[in-house]
Structure formats: structure tokens, C-alpha cells
Amino acid sequence: MNKINKLFEEQKKTGRKLLSLYFCAGCPTLEGTGNVIKTLQRRGIDMIEVGIPFSDPLADGPVIQTAGTIALKNGMTLTRLFEQLREIKDEVTIPLVMMGYLNVIMHYGIERFCQSCVECGASGAIIPDLPFNDYLEIVKPIADRYDLRIIMMITPETSEERIRFIDDHTDGFIYMVSSASITGAQKSFDEAKQEYFRHINSMNLRNPRMIGFGISNKQTLESAQQNAAGAIIGSKFVTLLSEAQGDADKAMDDLYEALEVMNVER
């Protein structure tokens, strides 16, 4: 069974809220990818989004844009990233989700990308600028052959009809973006965002949902987890990892402190 599906099946049985982290491969150091992933797994993270650096990341705020620029300057490429992931494949038991923009993946080759994901142990991919029709007609048939989950995003502007259509034609989980803005830490979610969370929760979708964008403290974490299977943290962890100069254990200590949750060791 695909690791993403297995994770959410277990979550549904236990009711335990999940925590997923994003980091940009190649930042702050070129060779740190494997160590970051293994550290996050050991420190209790349930799923990891591995960012593929790109020169023009439209959905990303300044923190992740800067991380991508540093990673590219360090020499990170998709080919090198897959090589790094293959080296640790046998040590990673939690789901890895590749996150990158269509231009990079098209240049690499869609089928080659899906095959490389499977060979390096990745269970899914998020492509923020992938048009849904292109997903249905081109990407999904290829990804399905490799048992790779293509995760789609919804925002507060996504219509209920569109959300149900996405729910009917995807598998794994739905990435529920907390707002229509770019990524970046927020101190709190206002009532409008929380009403959006509650509304989507009331739709009883087939796919589980993870809420991301803006989660950086106890309040935002709890707001997300109350209305979804779990939360995704990106910019906050990227900042802490950079401040710790790539020391993922230090970054995790600081993250757990900011979230006011207990440190976890597997």
C-alpha cells in the first residue's frame, strides 16, 4: 500500500493529529537532505514535503523563495536530489512527498519523474501550478502506473463544486491552503479562515485533508488540527533550519518550543 494511504488509514483509526514539515532540499547546505529527513523521522514527524528548488516559485513567500535561491546557488538539481534520496531510501519509513513546480518536472520528464520518485522512496508529489485538466489527462495516468499520489491544493476561493470534483479524482489527501496568499508564518487565523476550515470539514469529503500555509505557533497549529487530519508547516521550519545552520535537531527543538508541544523521539 502507498505510504500516504497507510498513514491516513492509521490516523483515521487512532484519531491522532498528524504533523508534516516542508523543507527545501539543498538549503542551507547541499548535502544535508538525507540528514534532515532522517532527523525529522526520528523526531516524530509523520510526513515530509521535500521541496525542489525553482527560480520562480509563484506560490511561495520570501522565506521559501530565499531558501530556493540558496539551494540553487549551492548546486541542487532534481537529479542530484533523487540521488540523495536513493542513498537513504532503506532508512525512511514515513511518506515523502516531492513538492516542485511544473517547469522543473516537465524539463526532467513526467514519466521519468514518477519513476524516479518510486525508485527513491517518495510516495507522492505536489505540483502547485499543475492545471487540473493537465493532471487528469496527462499526469494522473502516468502517476497511477507508478502508484504515485499527486496531491492537489484547494483555497478559500475554490468553489464547493470544484472541491468535490478534486475529491472525486484524487487520492492520498487534499492540501487545504489556509488562505489565497503566498506561504509564510502567521500569528493567528482569523474567524473567516476558521469558518472556511469548519465549512470544508462539514463537507465530509472522501479524502483526508491537511491544512498548510501560515502555521507557526500553538494557536495556528490547533486551529488547523481541529478541522483536518493534521497540519503542514513550511516557512517556520525553513527559517529555524537556516538559523540552526542546517542542524535539524536544533531546528526541531526550536519548532516544538514555538508550537508548545512535547518533544518527540521515535
Measured distance CA(173)–CA(23) in Å, rounded: 19
By CB neighbour count within 10 A (0-12 exposed, 13-18 middle, 19+ buried), where does 75 fall? exposed
Which one from 9, 31, 60, 190 is the annotated catalytic residue? 60
The Cα 145–Cα 129 span in angstroms is 22
Is 247 designated active site?
Answer: no
- From 9, 31, 46, 49, active-site residue: 49
Backbone φ and ψ of 45, nearest 5°? -70, 140
Q: Is 167 a catalytic residue?
A: no
Catalytic residues: 49, 60
